């Protein structure tokens, strides 16, 4: 006899993702990853890197934060967190030429948007002193600083200890933490009476479960796509629970000790496989150290991986459409480094013919704007493309 019932683990779940118990789960995932994941060690931060600017979150009871400059204020490369969030239409707190000195002296945490305040709480709980937030670490009224720092963002995220993702928030005021009901976290299960084995319980899930958890206001944001792919670890604060991503595992509070695989989530496949061919000892077609059978620098396997990412990325939305090409540049730099191929506005020289063979999925009228990419590049259109 089959009976559907509520999850047996409901009582174990806290009523808010801000609780100490939820934080302990996140800490366990983080520590296990740093200490025992060989792939994460290999593909994670490979050098001690310090961004140009970092936010000093202070100690637990401190009421202020301050901006630190490297190397003036920070000598040794520290661990730091990054934050992915959705920008406000009219941001209230920004790093500008006129606020640099005030921020270096210290500013009240209470004056920051809620998501930023919550991120400071998370950093302190992880005992990580520094945090990187783009709007507070890049001078927003300086085109020169933006040009310089935007091309370094892939290093900022790739060398972070962990990326904190405000996956459920529409704006910086949405915060990270959410109240929830226990049944939102607990899984359903079925009881099956088996001959000679008695009653066995089976938890219910499907291959899209993890993707649904992380789906939200950030899912289609172009800059966030790159942040998520490049970061060695991502801790999502979703609508109902926290979710973990790294190169070796996907976990959530519903599945705190094991990962439900396989998953067909676009992001998950990108995060798991984008670095798989960046192995000097790989013997597969995805190895960058081996040319394709046709002698081209980029093998078919590597090129297919690139186009899979382009297909997913092209569905992204941008506040500034002109960012469409540059927001992919960090991922492109990884491919360039490991293949030696030449990057040409979204395409690759050794695969230029194949790269031109893309179509627009849903054509839309595009108003005249300043140049951002050649007309032959998929980055020149504001629509999803199919390579």
Query: Do 9 and 86 have their domain in common?
Result: yes
* Average pLDDT over the chain, rounded to an integer: 83
Is 0.95 surpassed by the pTM of this model? no
Q: What is the mean pLDDT of residues 362-385?
A: 82
pLDDT tens for each residue of 197-238: 888 877 776 666 666 777 788 888 888 888 988 898 999 999
Look up residue 188 and give its two tokens: 């359903």
Domain boundary pick from 236, 252, 275: 275
Whether the CB-CB separation of 86 and 217 falls below 8 Å is answered with: yes
Q: What is the mean pLDDT of residues 319-346?
A: 89
Residue 281 domain flag: no
Query: Do 150 and 220 have their domain in common?
Result: yes
- Does the pLDDT of residue 186 top 90, yes or no? no
Whether the CB-CB separation of 271 and 245 falls below 8 Å is answered with: yes
Whether the CB-CB separation of 153 and 82 falls below 8 Å is answered with: no
Query: Do 57 and 156 have their domain in common?
Result: yes
Residue 263: name the closest of 275, 251, 281 by CA: 251
Query: Do 172 and 317 have their domain in common?
Result: no
Instruction: Report the domain count for the chain.
Output: 2
Look up residue 115 and give its two tokens: 């998501």
Query: Do 113 and 260 have their domain in common?
Result: yes
pLDDT tens for each residue of 59-111: 989 999 999 999 999 988 999 999 999 998 889 899 999 999 999 999 999 99
- Does the pLDDT of residue 127 top 90, yes or no? yes
Whether the CB-CB separation of 308 and 358 falls below 8 Å is answered with: no
* Burial (CB count within 10 angstroms: exposed 0-12, middle 13-18, buried 19+), residue 294: exposed
Q: Give residues with Cβ within 8 angstroms of 270, minimum separation 6.
A: 228, 229, 308, 309, 312
Query: Do 331 and 245 have their domain in common?
Result: no
Range(s) of the domain holding residue 233: 3-275
Look up residue 114 and give its two tokens: 């809620």
- Does the pLDDT of residue 9 top 60, yes or no? no
Residue 308: name the closest of 272, 278, 266 by CA: 266
Query: Do 303 and 385 have their domain in common?
Result: yes
- Does the pLDDT of residue 264 top 50, yes or no? no
What does the alpha-carbon distance between residue 64 and residue 51 come to, in Å, rounded to a whole number? 21
pLDDT tens for each residue of 37-51: 888 887 666 668 999
What does the alpha-carbon distance between residue 141 and residue 152 come to, in Å, rounded to a whole number? 18
Domain boundary pick from 275, 299, 318: 275
CA angle 351, 357, 362 (to 5 degrees): 140
Residue 230 domain flag: yes
Query: Do 340 and 252 have their domain in common?
Result: no
Residue 115: name the closest of 99, 80, 91 by CA: 91
- Does the pLDDT of residue 142 top 70, yes or no? yes
pLDDT number for residue 383: 86
- Indicate the SS3 state at residue 319: coil
What does the alpha-carbon distance between residue 147 and residue 22 come to, in Å, rounded to a whole number? 39
Residue 280 domain flag: no
Domain boundary pick from 275, 297, 325: 275
- Indicate the SS3 state at residue 124: helix
């Amino acid at each position: 006899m089959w009976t559907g019932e509520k999850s047996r683990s409901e009582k174990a779940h806290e009523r808010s993702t801000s609780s100490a118990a939820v934080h302990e789960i996140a800490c366990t995932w983080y520590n296990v990853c740093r200490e025992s994941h060989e792939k994460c060690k290999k593909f994670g931060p490979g050098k001690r890197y310090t961004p140009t600017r970092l936010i000093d979150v202070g100690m637990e009871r401190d009421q202020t934060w301050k901006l630190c400059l490297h190397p003036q204020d920070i000598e040794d490369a520290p661990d730091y967190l990054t934050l992915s969030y959705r920008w406000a239409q009219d941001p209230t707190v920004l790093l500008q030429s006129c606020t640099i000195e005030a921020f270096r002296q210290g500013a009240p945490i209470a004056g920051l948007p809620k998501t930023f305040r919550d991120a400071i709480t998370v950093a302190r709980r992880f005992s990580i002193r520094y945090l990187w937030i783009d709007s507070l670490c890049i001078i927003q009224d300086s085109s020169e600083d933006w040009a310089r720092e935007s091309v370094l963002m892939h290093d900022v995220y790739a060398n972070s200890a962990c990326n904190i993702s405000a996956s459920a928030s529409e704006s910086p005021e949405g915060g990270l933490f959410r109240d929830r009901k226990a049944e939102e976290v607990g899984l359903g299960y079925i009881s099956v009476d088996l001959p000679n084995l008695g009653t066995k319980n089976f938890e219910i899930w499907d291959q899209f479960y993890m993707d649904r958890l992380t789906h939200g206001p950030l899912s289609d944001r172009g800059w966030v796509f790159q942040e998520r792919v490049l970061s060695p670890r991502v801790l999502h604060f979703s609508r109902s629970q926290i979710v973990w991503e790294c190169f070796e595992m996907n976990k959530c509070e519903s599945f705190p000790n094991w990962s439900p695989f396989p998953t067909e989530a676009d992001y998950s496949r990108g995060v798991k496989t984008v670095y798989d061919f960046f192995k000097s000892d790989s013997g597969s077609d995805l190895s960058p150290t081996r040319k394709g059978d046709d002698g081209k620098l980029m093998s078919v396997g590597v090129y297919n991986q690139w186009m899979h990412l382009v297909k997913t990325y092209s569905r992204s939305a941008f506040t500034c459409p002109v960012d469409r090409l540059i927001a992919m540049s960090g991922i492109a730099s990884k491919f360039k480094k490991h293949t030696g191929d030449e990057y040409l506005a979204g395409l690759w020289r050794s695969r230029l013919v194949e790269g031109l063979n893309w179509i627009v999925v849903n054509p839309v009228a595009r108003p005249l704007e300043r140049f951002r990419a050649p007309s032959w590049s998929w980055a020149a259109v504001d629509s999803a493309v199919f390579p």
